[in-house]
Amino acid sequence: MEKRIGYILLCFGIGFILFAVVNMWGVFSGKKPPPKILDIESVTLNIPIKKGESPSPMTIDLNPQVSKIGNMFLWSLLMLFIAGAGSKLGNLGIKLAKSTDKAVKKSEGNKPLKPL
């Protein structure tokens, strides 16, 4: 039973990793747009010109590529997290599958030999 659970966890781990790789490949190759998490069009800063005067607002218009780069960065962080979780699941599955193999071999090794 543990061996079956181990292989199931291994398959889920590989699935998580493949999901992350395929999604990152699609976004970075330009086939799919990154999900919109950030939408930065301009930044307004309050800059004092002279001492004693109230700061005057200054607006800096940003290129739309800034938002796209930020979205791609956040998307890659999320996909790396998912791939890491898949790695942990796969590793746990391997350990479960191996531990049952050792237990079976150990129990078979302790049996006395039958005479012919």
Tens-digit pLDDT profile for residues 38-93 = 787 777 878 777 777 777 787 877 777 888 888 889 999 999 999 999 999 999 99
- pTM higher than 0.85: no
pLDDT value of position 19? 95
**Vertex 95: Cα angle to 91 and 101 (nearest 5):** 145
pLDDT value of position 45? 79
Please state, in angstroms and rounded to a whole number, the distance separating the CA atoms of residues 58 and 88.
Answer: 48
Burial class (CB in 10 A: 0-12, 13-18, 19+), 82: middle
Residue 70 in 3-state DSSP? helix
Burial 60-72 (b: 16+ CB within 10 A, else e): eeeeeeebeeebb
> pLDDT by residue (tens digit) across 29-38?
989 888 888 7
